[in-house]
Amino acid sequence: MAFGLFKKKKKETKENIPSGFLKLKVNKVVKETADAVSIHFEQPEDGKIFYKAGQYFTIMVNINGKDERRSYSLCSSPYTDELPAVGVKRVEGGLVSNYLNSEVKAGDELLVVPPMGNFTTEFTTANDRHLVLFGGGSGITPLISIAKSALSQEPNTKVTLVYANRDEDSIIFKSEIESLSANEQFEVKHVLESIPAGWNGFSGRISQPLIEQVLASVDVTKIECFTCGPAPMMDVVLDSLAVLGVDSSRVHKESFVSTKLEENKKESAEELVAREVTVVLDDEEYKFTVNPDESILEKGLDEGLNLPFSCQSGLCTSCRGKCLSGKVKMDESEGLTEAELEEGFVLPCVAHPLTDDVKIEIG
């Protein structure tokens, strides 16, 4: 995903927009729940933004004098919505999510990296499939984009959304989901931990028996599944679909946050020592020492290197490089495929040197 990457010490245009960014004006902010909003952007005057359903924007805001970047999935569909929009749910202690929920308003301008992400699919009128979407909490954001796109473009495709939340008030995009339910191709199965009086949906959490019940009458050969939400929920979904015989090539997942990242960072800092690393960037070699409490990317950026990065949590792979020698420890490797890992690719944003001869080529 090399398009639109953020780089430190970036060049600035005559409009004072950092290289690799767009400056987008906020058209409106819609309060979806007590702790979630959708932010709708106006299209740039010099050309329309093209994106795929399920992709995300990386937004940069300056908070307390520091540039902060976070990635948020698009909840709009390129086929049905005039304006691109992202969904943002508050995270406890989250600098950017709380800022975007509380401070951003219509007319504001935000710096945005153009759309990226592989949590998507190709939509054609010839497709005849059953899209099954499993979401939890804010995981609905890319899923509703995919649902709207499929219903718009694929007359022979059915869409089933299984959406888990704490309670009824936590359902993000509730009215929009209800509108989609008017389409006979679409059905939603809500799953609530705390149910109101007269509730007719599922209660508890997404489980294998629940999944088996929902898919009991579905042709598994036609299923294509997308899941986004808490890691434990997605693990249940993946295991259940495997039991039901859904081919793994037809199952896609999107992780917003690595649940193991912070824990692994602490473990890494305890067992690592400072080591020198060589980074090859644009055919030039740079050497610097990485301390136990910092990643290779963090140190490289501190040294002024123009390294690509976006999420800084090992998920987007924007910073991907190939380890030419030595060994590194990664706090998170979910963003890389098994084939990439075998070829020696690493993610500098979550990587720490284990030997004194680490050499990584970026790009």
Please report the pLDDT score of residue 269 as a whole number. Answer: 57
For residues 311 and 318, give the distance between their C-alpha atoms in angstroms, rounded to a whole number. Answer: 8
DSSP 174: H
For 43, 232, 309, the CA distances from 20, given in Å and listed in that order, are 17, 35, 11
Nearest 5 degrees, angle CA 29-CA 34-CA 39? 20
pLDDT at 273 over 70: yes
Residue 183: CB atoms within 10 A of its CB come to 14
Q: What is the pTM of this model?
A: 0.81
Domain ranges of the chain: 6-116, 130-254, 261-362
pLDDT at 332: 84
Average pLDDT of every residue of the chain: 90
Helix or strand (DSSP H, E) at 158: strand 158-165
Query: How far is it, in rounded angstroms, from Cα 348 to Cα 308?
Result: 10
Does 55 score more than 50 pLDDT?
A: yes
In angstroms, rounded to a whole number, what is the distance separating the alpha carbons of residues 73 and 208?
27
Say which CATH class 261-362 falls into.
alpha beta
> Using CA atoms, how far apart are residues 205 and 303, in angstroms rounded to an integer?
47
- Residue 238: what are its φ and ψ, rounded to 5°? -65, -45
- Tell me the one-letter amino acid at 216: A
pLDDT over 90, % of the chain: 74
- pLDDT range class, residue 19, cuts 50, 70, 90: low
Enumerate residues 6+ apart whose C-beta is below 8 A from 295: 331, 348, 349, 350, 351, 352
Nearest to residue 61, comparing CAs of 107, 14, 113? 113
CATH code of the region 130-254: 3.40.50.80
Range with the poorest average pLDDT among 113-117, 134-138, 147-151, 280-284: 113-117
Answer whether CATH 3.30.420.10 is correct for domain 6-116: no
Comparing 58 with 166, which gets the higher pLDDT?
166
Q: 100-109, 211-220, 258-267, 319-328: lowest mean pLDDT where? A: 258-267
Instruction: Look at the alpha carbons of 324, 328, 332, 338 in this order and tell me if their dihedral is positive or negative.
Output: positive
**Using one digit for the tens of pLDDT, what is the confidence trace for 80-129?**
999 999 999 999 989 999 999 999 999 999 999 889 888 999 999 999 99
> Do the domains 6-116 and 261-362 sit in the same CATH topology, yes or no?
no
What residues does 87 pair with on adjacent strands?
Answer: 38
Q: What is the mean pLDDT of residues 179-200?
A: 96
For residues 195 and 288, what is the distance between their CA atoms, to the nearest angstrom?
55
Q: What is the pLDDT of residue 71?
A: 87
Strands of the 202-203 sheet, one edge to the other: 202-203, 186-192, 158-165, 130-136, 223-228, 251-254
Task: Give one word for 9, left, alpha or beta, with left for phi > 0 and alpha for psi -120 to 50.
Answer: left
> Closest by alpha carbon to 81, among 21, 146, 32?
146
